[in-house]
Amino acid sequence: MLEPPNIPEEHLRAYLHEQYGLSVVTLEFLPVGLDSRAGVYRVTTAPGAAYLLKAKSGTLYEPSCIVPRYLKDQGVDAVVAPLPTRQNALWTGLGEWGHEDWTAIVYPFIEGDVGWNPRMTDAQWKAVGTAIKQIHRVPLPSEGFQALRKETFDPTEYGRRVRAFDADQARAEGGSQAEQAFRAHWMEHRPTIFRLLTLMEALAGVLQRQAEPHVICHADLHPSNIIRGHDGWVFIIDWDDVMLAPKERDFLFVGDPPSDTSPRDSIAPFFQGYGQAEIDWVALTYYRCERVVTDVIECGQEVFFRDDLGADSKAYSAQLFGRLFGPGSMVDAVWTAAAHIPSDLDVHGS
């Protein structure tokens, strides 16, 4: 969220004092992250400690708090987990302060680099690979995780939303500058969007017919969700998309996996840390398609249908949509992965 949520600062201070016993000295809004429904703040207290407060609107996906706390308690030190309230809750609503649609969560504040610039070092990527391998090996408890999403490889909703926008909005005229810019990008890249959607639907049919091992996946692993501490440690944050899925769900932004013909000295640092793993190229291609289609849908939603967002946020979403198809983008990564799909599979568009 690039603009502060409409929550008075005194309400947040009162919340932190009542739920966590924190005497707040400073409360600084941080215009970071691509989640347009979540605002984050840096909180400092009288003893000089620092925390991160996340205020999130809408229905909370509870596993986004429960799973990282569980992983942290299982000894995965790279996971950043919510801190419990005085009542041992991992999140609480802000209804008492007049904000029924908002939930607040508190984390430790970790100093370090985050995002795509500066670029992550090979050593940092290797450390992330080691941490993700550890996460993928953690078994689920027998109960308490019923709400955790499980991959079904069902692209129906993606197809419905893309085709609905194409029919209802793509050729309309007028509107804001952001809307006009979005439509221009849509028409320019429309053939690619539908090629990706068609490929995704074909791959889904293959994946639905095969039994694939499922593990705990962060499901949105990229440099903006990895803090690189100044002491050399790496920390994985923002577990809003956590799910049970094939391991390839976490391989979108970490470099290309090694293939049978890859020279040992060319293996991406992430996979040096992760170790040997058999790659399902069908699943990886599907997930890369899904990522592009998801971003297309989300950008369109923010530009055309989010009345709570300001003009600057909408303009940013329109610009982001245009950048989805540039050189070195996830679209290029789709075709790279698709080249490894066995030729005897009946998929189209690859």
**Tens-digit pLDDT profile for residues 97-125:** 889 899 999 999 999 999 999 999 999 99
SS3 state of residue 43: strand
| Residue extent(s) of CATH 1.10.510.10 domains in the chain | 127-338
Give residue 5's pLDDT band: very low, low, confident or very high (50, 70, 90).
confident
Burial grade of 272 (CB within 10 A; 0-12, 13-18, 19 or more): middle
* CATH entry, 9-109, from 2.60.40.1120, 3.40.50.300, 3.30.200.20, 1.10.357.10: 3.30.200.20
Give the CA dihedral 177, 180, 185, 190, nearest 10 degrees.
Answer: 160
Residues in the chain: 350
Contact 270, 173 (CB under 8 A): no
**Tens-digit pLDDT profile for residues 238-255:** 999 999 999 999 999 999
| Residue extent(s) of CATH 3.30.200.20 domains in the chain | 9-109
Superfamily of domain 127-338: Transferase(Phosphotransferase) domain 1 (1.10.510.10)
Predicted local confidence at residue 262, as pLDDT: 64
Tokens of 311: 């003009």
Spatial distance between the Cα atoms of 286 and 275, rounded to a whole number of angstroms: 22
What is the arithmetic mean of pLDDT over 314-323? 95
Task: Using alpha carbons, select from 66, 108, 73 the residue that is nearest to residue 89.
Answer: 66
What is the arithmetic mean of pLDDT over 145-160? 96
Predicted local confidence at residue 342, as pLDDT: 86
Higher pLDDT, 234 or 170: 234
What is the arithmetic mean of pLDDT over 134-155? 93
Q: What is the pTM of this model?
A: 0.89
Q: Which amino acid is at 29?
A: F
CA distances to 12, 49, 55, 80, 299 from 22, in Å: 11, 10, 16, 20, 37
C-beta neighbour count of 219 within 10 angstroms? 18
Give the CA dihedral 184, 187, 293, 248, nearest 10 degrees.
Answer: -100
- Is the per-residue pLDDT at 256 higher than 90? yes
What is the arithmetic mean of pLDDT over 90-95? 94
Higher pLDDT, 258 or 61: 61
Give residue 211's pLDDT band: very low, low, confident or very high (50, 70, 90).
confident
Contact 140, 216 (CB under 8 A): yes
Q: Concatenated DSSP letters for 280-321?
A: -HHHHHHHHHHHHHHHHHHHHHHHHH-TTS-HHHHHHHHHHH
- Is the per-residue pLDDT at 16 higher than 70? yes
Angle at CA 207, nearest 5°, toward 251 and 167?
Answer: 90
- Is the per-residue pLDDT at 350 higher than 50? no
What is the arithmetic mean of pLDDT over 324-329? 93
**Tens-digit pLDDT profile for residues 26-79:** 999 998 776 778 899 999 998 889 999 999 999 999 999 999 999 999 999 999
Give residue 232's pLDDT band: very low, low, confident or very high (50, 70, 90).
confident
